[in-house]
Structure 1
Amino acid sequence: MRSMGKYDDIINLPHHVSSVHPQMSIWDRSAQFSPFAALTGHEAAIEETARLTEQWHEPDEDKREELDEKLRQIMLTYKKIDTGKNIEVYSDINNCGIGLNILYFKPDKLKEGGSYEHVTGKLRKMDDINHKLEITDDAGKRIVIDTAMIYNIESTD
């Protein structure tokens, strides 16, 4: 003889269908079990925290002098090309012909630190008062660089 299990009395009863409430669709039924996003933006915040940045390493005095001399030489070449024009802050020279290869530090907009970026292109504008260079890279993108953040600069000509 078989002993009575806990649910033996209801196991063979027909499935109940409510006469008052309509049957839930499969879509609505499955939605009950979807994950709940109580912490909207939490995953993005974790990804941002995990994103690595580098610290700016100030060039030593010898390197700084070398960079200053290179920038002076570029400025002299820039002004020679601009002969006959009024040199103003960011006077525009399209395709002035000075090819540059620059390694510079780009500060991160969201957190401390940043990244070292490399760009090769043509000098577009030079602002010796505000210490900015504008480069047009090989893809045609304009990049403004703070000369204080340049780690290395070479002429490609």
Structure 2
Amino acid sequence: MDERWYTMDRPKSKYPKMSMSDRAAQFAPFAALTGHKEAILEQQRTTQTKRILSNEEKLRINEKIIELMNLKLKCRITYFEKDKKKSGGKYYTATYTFKRLDELNKTLIFKENAQIQIDDIVDIELLEQ
């Protein structure tokens, strides 16, 4: 058997040596767990549960809505928005100008093109013009 092969020098390449990160990047499209990182990030994202309002809180919100309809004021409204991917959702507070009430869908419609279900409202603060 010819034993020259292991004593020979490694062949020299005419191309410059590639960095380890560049070498690893060329195999990235073949990752076995495509989407795994996104799934982990989605799992870590937290949501809030929607709290149930007391009858007194519902009555106070209804009174504010009636006042809002009569005066067509701006209001600061806190509401719950259901998450599209997970159970639960998130509470938001925003300032809107009232436009009209959609009685059929029980929705407040605002001039800023926002629509909020009355059942999702937890607080309304009327603001001066």
Give the AA of the match of 1:114: G
1:14 aligns with 2:9: yes
> CA deviation digits over 1:115-138, x for unaligned, max 9?
0000112113321231111234xx
For 1:124, which of 92, 96, 99 is the aligned residue? 99
Unaligned runs of 5+ in 2: none
Partner of 2:66: 72
Q: CA separation in 2, counterparts of 1:59 and 1:15? A: 76
Per the TM alignment, residue 42 of structure 1 is displaced from its structure 2 partner at its CA by: 1.0
Q: How many residue pairs end up in the alignment?
A: 120
Per the TM alignment, residue 24 of structure 1 is displaced from its structure 2 partner at its CA by: 7.8
Q: CA separation in 2, counterparts of 1:117 and 1:41? A: 29
CA RMSD in angstroms comes to 2.8
Partner of 1:50: 44
Unaligned runs of 5+ in 1: 1-8, 79-97
Give the AA of the match of 1:53: T
List structure 1 segments (4+ residues) > 3 angstroms apart after TM superposition.
22-27, 31-36
> CA deviation digits over 1:27-62, x for unaligned, max 9?
6x9258745521111111111111000000011111
Task: Give the number of the structure whose alpha-carbon radius of gyration is greater.
Answer: 1
Partner of 1:101: 76
Identity %: 28
1:145 aligns with 2:77: no
Which gives a bigger RCO, structure 1 or 2 (Cα 8 Å, sep 6+)? 2
Partner of 1:110: 85
1:142 match: secondary structure: coil
Deviates more, 1:68-77 or 1:53-62: 68-77
C-alpha contact (below 8 Å) 2:69/2:98 kept by paired residues? no
2:114 match: secondary structure: strand
